[in-house]
Amino acid sequence: MNLRMTSYILGLLLLFEGAFMMIPTITAAVYHEQELLMFAVIALSCMLIGFLITRWKPKNKSLFPKDGFVICALSWIVLSVFGALPFVVSGTIPGFIDALFESVSGFTTTGASILHTLEGIPKSVLMWRSFTHWVGGMGVLVFIMAFLPIAGGRNMYLMKAESPGPSVGKLVPRVKTTAKLLYLIYFSMTLIQFVLLLVGGMPLFDSICISVATAGTGGFSCSPEGMNYSPFCLTVITIFMFLFGVNFSCYFLLLQKKFKETFTTELKVYLGIIAFAILTISLNVRHMFSTLSETVLHSSFTIGSLLSSTGFATVDFNEWPQYSRTLLVILMFIGAMAGSTGGGIKVSRIVILFKDMLNDLSAMIHPHQVKKVKMDGHTVDGEIIRTVHSFMTVYLIIYAISMVILSFDGLDLTTNFTAVVATLDNIGPGLNLVGPMSNFDVYSTTSKIVLIFDMLAGRLELFPMILLLTPSTWKK
């Protein structure tokens, strides 16, 4: 375990977090808010601590898989702890666990909240709350790798530990260049959405907050009135929620005009799920809206929000018919594509599991027949299949344990069931008491800590958080 390198990267993380916190500092200055000094002090404190840590540069910069997982888990914990300070110091969320819940929810792009209302909350705090989505969306370690040369050629371990999906590859030979390309695409798409929302008449402040929240597939609203925007703006948000749920490698291939490679099996399944969900749910909720266009708009928005794990809500889908609610929960489990900013189990894992199941069924009928799982004409490596099965095993264990602990709060089964899926899959809203028009403050402190762990585990694909708590990880 390279502890010196671990502390060095955590120092870099605090330097960047301090720099990121200048965004709400500027916001406070623009709106003449008293939180200006608070944000400035916290930002400078983060940078000072980061500077002091990074003064002692490690001689040995080598990283191994174990280091990558541990650094990834610790980075997100440190990021969230310091990110919670503005909520506590400003008095917006006085309790530290509640503030940590909000911070973790922001950085992991979950969008679950313990706030009852946004009325009276300073715009600088709201900006920080939404901006955490953008920081966490692509991954803070990916951001660091894009601008600083760390760990030589082994920094791929950091990207693999932080990036969502069963496998992570390099778009180009150098990891640093790959990270830069990912952030260039990420920033460009965010900027395009921002411009379109401005054109649609959305206020400047809201356009920034909604754009960064959509990009990170977060879900924090920035207005006490919620998502009460024009049909044009809601359509733009819907489209971009779906777009940010796509593997960013597809955009890179599209820019290179490699159209055949762009339309992968996973992308086709993702688009198929979207089309099926919009068609069937629109038919199921048609009687609840006055026009067909309104039906399709709100159905598409809700599906895009939950499938991409963004978590915005224009209507209380908790009141929708049973079929729609059931399908929406299934979409929460499935999630977006691997390599996107979305959460969930990921479409690629579902496809791999389904194909592997078919092979197993075929082997029962024809024992001597040898079949391999293939994706886009290529055989899926056995190691990837094994990892997918391990992921699902750990996922179900964490889910079961979380459900048992939450049950002691005495809330109903649907609330607990969807609260865990909403946090473990980084969705945001669930059903019943944690529905789109409710919040997670109904839970005890113990349950909130469990849900905080679930949000971190879900964003980091489970294994970094599990390995962090495994004693053998820390043995020499």
Provide the pLDDT for residue 378: 86
Name the pLDDT band for 154 (thresholds 50, 70, 90): low
Nearest to 179 by CA among 194, 192, 160, 205: 160
pLDDT one-digit tens code per residue, 319-377: 999 999 999 999 999 999 998 989 999 999 999 999 999 999 998 888 877 788 888 88
Comparison of pLDDT for 476 and 383, the residue scoring more: 383
Provide the pLDDT for residue 155: 60
Is the pLDDT confidence value at 200 over 80? yes
Hey, what are 167's tokens?
């496998």
Provide the pLDDT for residue 434: 95
* Amino acid found at 1: M
Determine the average pLDDT of the residues in 400-428: 96
455/384 Cα distance (integer angstroms): 24
Residue 471 forms beta bridges with which residues? none
Provide the pLDDT for residue 158: 66
What sign results for the dihedral spanned by CA atoms 39, 44, 47, 48? negative
pLDDT one-digit tens code per residue, 25-65: 999 999 999 999 999 999 999 999 999 999 888 777 777 77
Provide the pLDDT for residue 166: 64
Provide the pLDDT for residue 177: 77
Provide the pLDDT for residue 161: 65
Comparison of pLDDT for 173 and 132, the residue scoring more: 132
Is the pLDDT confidence value at 216 over 70? yes
Is the pLDDT confidence value at 435 over 70? yes
Of the chain, the percentage scoring pLDDT greater than 90 comes to 72
Provide the pLDDT for residue 134: 94
* Amino acid found at 252: F
78/81 Cα distance (integer angstroms): 5
Three-state DSSP at 381 gives coil
CB 130 within 8 A of CB 213: yes
373/358 Cα distance (integer angstroms): 9
CB 358 within 8 A of CB 401: no
Provide the pLDDT for residue 197: 97
Hey, what are 416's tokens?
């607990």
* E runs forming strands in 270-352: none
Determine the average pLDDT of the residues in 123-151: 83
Is the pLDDT confidence value at 170 over 60? no
Provide the pLDDT for residue 63: 73
Name the pLDDT band for 68 (thresholds 50, 70, 90): confident
Nearest to 36 by CA among 53, 54, 20, 22: 22
Provide the pLDDT for residue 471: 85
Write down the pTM of the prediction.
Answer: 0.93
Provide the pLDDT for residue 390: 94
**187 Cβ contact list (under 8 Å, min separation 6):** none
472/87 Cα distance (integer angstroms): 36
342/316 Cα distance (integer angstroms): 22
Nearest to 353 by CA among 381, 384, 378, 389: 389
